[in-house]
Structure 1
């Protein structure tokens, strides 16, 4: 296995699982993983999953068939599979003081969670993240949908995080040519929110694929030029959670779900 010279900050949730499993299947492990969050978090997450489990597993099985990789979204992880150096910080909060104390300014940290890393953590060490949109100008939340609406395919960006939302130095970015999963054979009457959660699994798989492409290419920089970005005619703005009608439109048009019953 090839060792990625970063420390992953591993919140045990779907984003982390997508990165770790896809990288592992392609021959990569992290130099170190710092595992965060008390098992209570997994219990709360599981409660949400169990309330939607039948349909989420149906969607996940379809995506696994499409991508040829089975990501353990509904299981506890054995982190030792993905690194020989594991540190556990057993505190029930997302950014505990114990993590701040553990940070080494000489180490590069890969951030798998969604959101913004607090400034005090950014000041102590360097943090990398894969954003689910082509930066700039697609910044903020759920940019997979906006990429589909503007370009017919999503784009992704590996970058150094700063205190500003999705404005750090870009290392690697690309639009995905991965065929989108066809949801036309899913059960009818699946709730919109369940579909949104379910298709997020595919979004995470493609994010992890970008990271694999980056390492397979020898970590060579790939950044879209200003002229290329101008041709996209994107509005340069920060997007937030999409309106439910936009999500429904994208799931119908691009993923071919036709089982709506509302």
Structure 2
């Protein structure tokens, strides 16, 4: 049985219940694009581009909007909810997954499965017969088996043990500090090398990060900053603290492996979790209340900064208005090997696709992880087989981003700091070709589970 012919027949049957839609007055009609894909058994360049457009939209948001602008932004808040059109979309994504298999491109195949699983979550699919569902599962299993063979081009960057100076050295670097495990690991990495950043700009959200409601508006500014920072810290570190306290069988193997394989001391890891005062790391702390990274107050603050390097530690998407400040170079550590692995959840995409964690230091530019690359690294194998096999997926996911991802990034930061022979705003770098590599989006739960199985087993 040719399963693609079976899927084409399903698409034909679903199409019979639908009329050709008219053009959307406010952009590109999702229904019209789906209709064009359904009307062509063989997909040419136009259909391939449409499929890529719709796949990206669904992969990013997990939703279908009725229409989009040509740049991919939704042109309406109305969702595509018609069951017949959603069934057609699901069948089209099944066809895409089975066709991609023929191309032998594992990264593209992974992305299409991520999109398909998100599409199947939108509603039940009564047309999904056994031969088709079996074909999907067989293809998914075959892809996972193919990914078990590690990439031949993976070259590990090992830590060349470095003896720090006996006294603290002031490093010409400003840390744009946004509270969280990543920022804490960075500060401890600097401290482990006996380096003090010249300045820490502490970003404190004026609104609660969960409820979005203003915090402490009645308080004097200094007290409001301290109060807001405390609330920010308690909420951001809620899960790391809970996991460390209640699930030591999960977190202990992680910290042990970070110490053993990535050569971070137990005291550094413990200090990062202890949330020491920022004055422990630098003599110059400048807290600033902001709405978000696009806040004009932050722009003005950075406009007045001296020329140099800024270490970005998170807090959202960096706006182009800040990246366009020509006197500053923003350093970022991305948890993926650039340009091959861009986007979100890349600690998991890296291990799922290649069997190793990876990270890259680069100068930030507008776009998703598209700046000039300074150091891309594959890290030594981290053995987490001691983690209990019955670990819940969500706990495992949270633990990876609380206890592994920050130190994976810090491994590369340390490598950059040790090997820098010039100012951190003048490091040798390679211009990134945006046409190369793959941009991934947040993983569907089935891919998360596959990635965690690979990491833990």
- Report the TM-score, using the length of structure 2 for normalisation: 0.49
Residue 255 of structure 2: which of 61, 64, 83 is its match? 64
Of stretches 146-155 and 166-175 in structure 1, the one that deviates more from structure 2 is 146-155
- Cα distance in 2 for residues equivalent to 1:208 and 1:50: 20
User: Which structure dedicates a bigger proportion of its chain to strand?
Assistant: 1
Residue 41 of structure 1: which of 211, 226, 232 is its match? 232
Q: 2:293–2:315: 8 Å Cα contact kept in structure 1?
A: no
Go from structure 1 to structure 2 and tell me whether the alpha carbon gap of 1:9 and 1:71 turns closer, same or farther (over 3 Å shift): farther
- Cα distance in 2 for residues equivalent to 1:89 and 1:173: 32
- Cα distance in 2 for residues equivalent to 1:101 and 1:21: 29
**C-alpha distance after superposition, 1:111-131 (max 9, x if no partner):** 011642011111223211011
**C-alpha distance after superposition, 1:191-224 (max 9, x if no partner):** 3122111112212102101111112123586879
Of stretches 95-104 and 237-246 in structure 1, the one that deviates more from structure 2 is 95-104
- Correspondence for 2:169: 2
User: Which structure dedicates a bigger proportion of its chain to helix?
Assistant: 2
Q: 1:5–1:30: 8 Å Cα contact kept in structure 2?
A: yes
Go from structure 1 to structure 2 and tell me whether the alpha carbon gap of 1:50 and 1:180 turns closer, same or farther (over 3 Å shift): closer
Of stretches 100-109 and 85-94 in structure 1, the one that deviates more from structure 2 is 85-94
**C-alpha distance after superposition, 1:99-155 (max 9, x if no partner):** 211112613211011642011111223211011111112110121222223322122
Q: Superposition RMSD on alpha carbons, in Å?
A: 2.8
Residue 117 of structure 1: which of 300, 318, 323 is its match? 318
- Correspondence for 1:32: 199
Go from structure 1 to structure 2 and tell me whether the alpha carbon gap of 1:206 and 1:53 turns closer, same or farther (over 3 Å shift): closer
- Correspondence for 1:161: 364
- Cα distance in 1 for residues equivalent to 2:273 and 2:404: 15
SS at match of 1:214: helix
1:97 aligns with 2:296: yes
Go from structure 1 to structure 2 and tell me whether the alpha carbon gap of 1:72 and 1:93 turns closer, same or farther (over 3 Å shift): farther
**C-alpha distance after superposition, 1:153-187 (max 9, x if no partner):** 1221111111111111111121112x31424343x
Of stretches 28-37 and 114-123 in structure 1, the one that deviates more from structure 2 is 114-123
Structure showing greater Rg: 2
Of stretches 136-145 and 11-20 in structure 1, the one that deviates more from structure 2 is 136-145
Q: 2:293–2:318: 8 Å Cα contact kept in structure 1?
A: no
SS at match of 2:172: strand
- Correspondence for 2:396: 195
- Cα distance in 2 for residues equivalent to 1:46 and 1:204: 13
SS at match of 2:338: coil
For these two proteins, the number of residue pairs brought into alignment is 247
What is the CA-CA distance between 1:22 and the residue it aligns to?
A: 2.3
Q: 1:160–1:170: 8 Å Cα contact kept in structure 2?
A: yes
1:106 aligns with 2:312: no
1:251 aligns with 2:418: no
- Cα distance in 2 for residues equivalent to 1:202 and 1:185: 13
What is the CA-CA distance between 1:96 and the residue it aligns to?
A: 3.3
* Unaligned ranges ≥5, structure 1: 230-234, 257-262
Q: 1:49–1:56: 8 Å Cα contact kept in structure 2?
A: no
- Cα distance in 2 for residues equivalent to 1:90 and 1:59: 36
1:211 aligns with 2:413: yes
* Unaligned ranges ≥5, structure 2: 1-167, 205-227, 260-265
Higher relative contact order (CA 8 A, sep 6+): 1
